[in-house]
């Protein structure tokens, strides 16, 4: 994103890929440290926002690890654990976030 994008008043959502394979730290034996990879979708708007998952080179399959709007009275309640494929569309409800964990291939 450019500096101008960060200042846009209409920008109410953000998707962030956290690549567990790109950690620069080494362990005490000098071995490369790896971890799970995540995709976090933040929606600061009052209305749902549709996100498109990253293309397959970033992960073929993802599972919902956390949905802050996953409440019993919510239409999509119980989505935690559901698997989603690369490039699929996912609605994130207003004022919430969804955390996806990449499924190991």
User: Where exactly are the structural domains of the chain?
Assistant: 35-105
7's CB contacts (< 8 A; 6+ apart) are none
What value does the mean pLDDT take over residues 68-95? 78
Average the pLDDT over 3-13 and give the result: 77
What's the pLDDT at 94?
Answer: 93
pLDDT band for position 34 (cuts 50, 70, 90)? confident
- Identify which of 16, 12, 89, 74 has the alpha carbon closest to the alpha carbon of residue 43: 12
**CATH 2.60.40.1180 applies to domain 35-105:** yes
Best CA proximity match to 12, nearest among 94, 86, 76: 94
Considering the entire predicted model, what is its pTM?
0.79
| HSE toward the beta carbon, residue 88, CA cutoff 13 A | 15
């Amino acid at each position: 994103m450019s500096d101008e994008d960060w200042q846009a008043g209409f920008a109410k959502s953000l998707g962030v890929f956290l690549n567990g394979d790109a950690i620069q730290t080494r362990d005490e034996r000098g071995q490369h440290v790896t971890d799970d990879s995540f995709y976090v979708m933040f929606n600061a708007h009052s209305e749902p926002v549709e996100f498109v998952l990253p293309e397959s080179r970033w992960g073929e399959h993802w599972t919902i690890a956390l949905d802050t709007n996953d409440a019993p009275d919510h239409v999509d309640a119980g989505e935690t654990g559901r698997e989603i494929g690369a490039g699929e569309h996912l609605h994130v409800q207003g004022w919430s976030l969804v955390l996806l964990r990449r499924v190991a291939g």
